[in-house]
Amino acid sequence: MSNVDLLREAAAKMRERATAATPSPWRDSSVDGNRYAALVSDTMPAGRNPGGGWDETEHYGGYLIAESVQPQDRQHIASWSPTVAFPVADWLDFEAGFYAAAGPPSPTFNYAVAVATAYLTGAE
């Protein structure tokens, strides 16, 4: 697979996953920030039934994304919400298009390839 194809595949997969994910922003629902707690969103995701076990009345303080997560992991996961994934996907597409049209890569092309490679190999 060419680097251009790799960038485009990663961008498409990012958009697909971000579109299917619970809407942003995501936040830590812990009281003290130090215990295992949930990661939540204030926006109900499509397809979830209010009152059917996934609404904010279930003591999470928002719509559940993940529970029993360590503080440092909650912060990291929350920082990679759809709000972040969409512009990163746009950047990968830009790099692919720039390289395909102009020939020589931009100064950030290799970084984009590294991000795309890591995303496709580490996010199964």
Q: Of 31, 24, 32, nearest to 79 (Cα)?
A: 24
pTM, entire model:
0.82
For 45-78, letters b (16+ CB in 10 Å) and e give: eeeeeeeeebebeeebbbbbbeeebeeeebeeeb
Sequential pLDDT tens for the chain (124 residues): 899 999 999 999 999 999 988 888 888 887 776 677 788 888 877 766 655 555 554 567 788 888 888 888 888 888 889 999 999 999 999 999 999 998 788 899 999 999 999 999 985 5
The residue whose two tokens read 């597409």 is: 93
CA distances from 90 to 39, 48, 95 (A): 26, 28, 9
